[in-house]
Amino acid sequence: MAEFRMPSLGADMTAGTLIGWMKGVGERVSRGDIIAEVDTDKGVIEVEVFTDGVIDKLLIEPGSKVPVGTVLAIIDEESPTDEDKQSSNSQGTSAVSEPTRLPRERAVSTGRRLASPAARKLAESLGIDLTKIEGTGPKGRIQLGDVQSAAKILNATSSEAVARIDSKTDRSARMRAAIASAMTRSKREIPHYYLHTTIDLTRALEWLDAENTGRAIKDRILYNVLLIKAVAIALRDVPELNGSWEDGRLNINESVNIGVAISVRQGGLAAPALFEADKKSLGQLMLELRDLVERTRASALRSSELSEPTITVTSLGDQNVETVFGVIYPPQVALVGFGKIIERPMIVDGTVQPRQLINATLSADHRASDGHRGGSFLSAIVRVLQEPEKL
């Protein structure tokens, strides 16, 4: 039996409202299927399932708001389909279901929740309610590891901040609160360092113009996609910027899932993932980016898109911004900001020439990487963008 839980769809999410079930009891589901719709601060998200099996029980009624980590449904991974049942019966055997695991017996209640001092301290600093955590230590004592795994589920959001937001408050206020919580955590916990460089995009833009003339208008590629792809490829040189900082250590992610910051019209933003951006063609990335923008604005993102970005790219070029100094989205360890493309004089081969220049900024977590490596990363972006035909 597998438990399907309310997922965390970002560092700022502590609870979600189940809008509806997309599958019913007895239906077979496989990894990646949309099983439910959940309303979050970021809009209605289609939630995917990560196990193959048959839905055994649906535990939560649509309309209920439950904390992240709450079991929503039970999926029977073993259960054979009707056909399987018939065939197995004909062989004279019957499927033996795994014995249901009994809940861990609680220690004799003394009216006081047993928790180690270190666990109490961490829970307090993260705003986690100890009564909601199950202890795995002796006598059911809550230990550091229990709080850390609870924090992982809750993604360490201050429950206080969320509690203050009435569930009836409108979405943009809730999104504001969610952003506030994530950004506060970022600036509180992450020692940012910033590196900045100016990139000559002249060649890349010329190449892109030529490339686009052969394409139908709807298939034309925006320069933003070049930048995203360049970031993705540059991460191969400096993988320590692609991942997360959790439990005091860096986890480098093998897939490059670029979170693209997309502003929402009513205010606020989301940064859903373009998965494995380093391996996709520019045309494919353009299609996916367009789809992502539309669904972000229509509040129809998928859970994995919100929970699995490994780095964020933000571009404020259309806002007349020359340089972006971004705030990292925890638990990620880096963010790349691009400003506006500006035509400026530049000395090339000894002569002054008009060139198309863009400012790129790296905000990186100094716990996870150092300036030297950050510099190598920016150099790699510059290099990759000088050979646009290879993108």
Partner 1 sequence: MTEKTRTTYRDAVRSALREALSGDDRVFLMGEDVGRYGGAYACSHGLLAEFGEKRIRDTPLSESAFVGAGIGAALGGMRPIVEIMTVNFSLLALDQIVNNAATLRHMSGGQFSVPIVVRVATGGGRQLGAQHSHSLENWYAHIPGIKVLTPGTVTDARWMLGEALKDPDPVFIFEHALLYPVEDDIEEDRTAFDPWKAKVRRSGRDVSLITYGGSLHKCLNAAAELSADGIEAEVVDLRSLRPLDTGSILGSVSRTHRAVVVDEGWRTGSIAAEVMAQIMEGAFDELDVPVRRVCSEEVPMPYAKHLEDAALPQPEKIVAAVKEMF
Binding interface with partner 1 (CB under 8 A): 116-121, 137, 143-144
3-state class (DSSP) for residue 237: helix
- Closer of 125 and 169 to partner 1 (Cβ): 125
DSSP string for 328-378:
--TTB-EEEEE---EEEEEEETTEEEEEEEEEEEEEEETTT--HHHHHHHH
- Closer of 133 and 230 to partner 1 (Cβ): 133
**Segment (H or E) for 19:** strand 15-21
- Closer of 121 and 236 to partner 1 (Cβ): 121
User: Which residue carries 């077979």 as its tokens?
Assistant: 28
Compute the least distance from the CB of residue 121 to partner 1, in Å: 4
Task: Say if residues 259 and 271 touch (Cβ distance below 8 Å).
Answer: yes
Compute the least distance from the CB of residue 247 to partner 1, in Å: 11
Can you count the helices (H) and strands (E) in the chain?
Answer: 10, 20
Compute the least distance from the CB of residue 161 to partner 1, in Å: 24
Contacts with 293 (C-beta within 8 Å, 6 or more apart), sequence order? 262
Compute the least distance from the CB of residue 133 to partner 1, in Å: 14
Compute the least distance from the CB of residue 146 to partner 1, in Å: 10
Compute the least distance from the CB of residue 251 to partner 1, in Å: 16
- Closer of 152 and 192 to partner 1 (Cβ): 152
3-state class (DSSP) for residue 304: helix
Structure tokens at 82: 């009707």
- Closer of 116 and 224 to partner 1 (Cβ): 116
In angstroms, the CA 48 to CA 43 distance is 15
- Closer of 119 and 362 to partner 1 (Cβ): 119
**CB atoms < 10 A from the CB of 205, how many?**
18
- Closer of 117 and 214 to partner 1 (Cβ): 117
DSSP string for 157-181:
--HHHHHTS-TTS-HHHHHHHHHHH
Compute the least distance from the CB of residue 129 to partner 1, in Å: 18
Compute the least distance from the CB of residue 123 to partner 1, in Å: 11
- Is residue 217 classed exposed, middle or buried when 0-12, 13-18 and 19+ CB atoms within 10 A define those classes? exposed
Measured CA distances, 62 to 16, 17, 35, 38, 290 (Å): 11, 8, 12, 9, 31
Angle at 133 between CA 128 and CA 139, to 5 degrees: 130
- Closer of 112 and 265 to partner 1 (Cβ): 112
Task: Say if residues 200 and 360 touch (Cβ distance below 8 Å).
Answer: no
Q: Where are the alpha helices (DSSP H) in the chain?
A: 82-90, 117-126, 144-154, 159-163, 171-189, 202-213, 223-237, 282-297, 303-307, 371-385
- Closer of 214 and 248 to partner 1 (Cβ): 248
Compute the least distance from the CB of residue 118 to partner 1, in Å: 4
Pairing status of strand 300-302 against strand 43-48: parallel
**Segment (H or E) for 37:** strand 34-40
- Closer of 24 and 117 to partner 1 (Cβ): 117
Compute the least distance from the CB of residue 138 to partner 1, in Å: 8
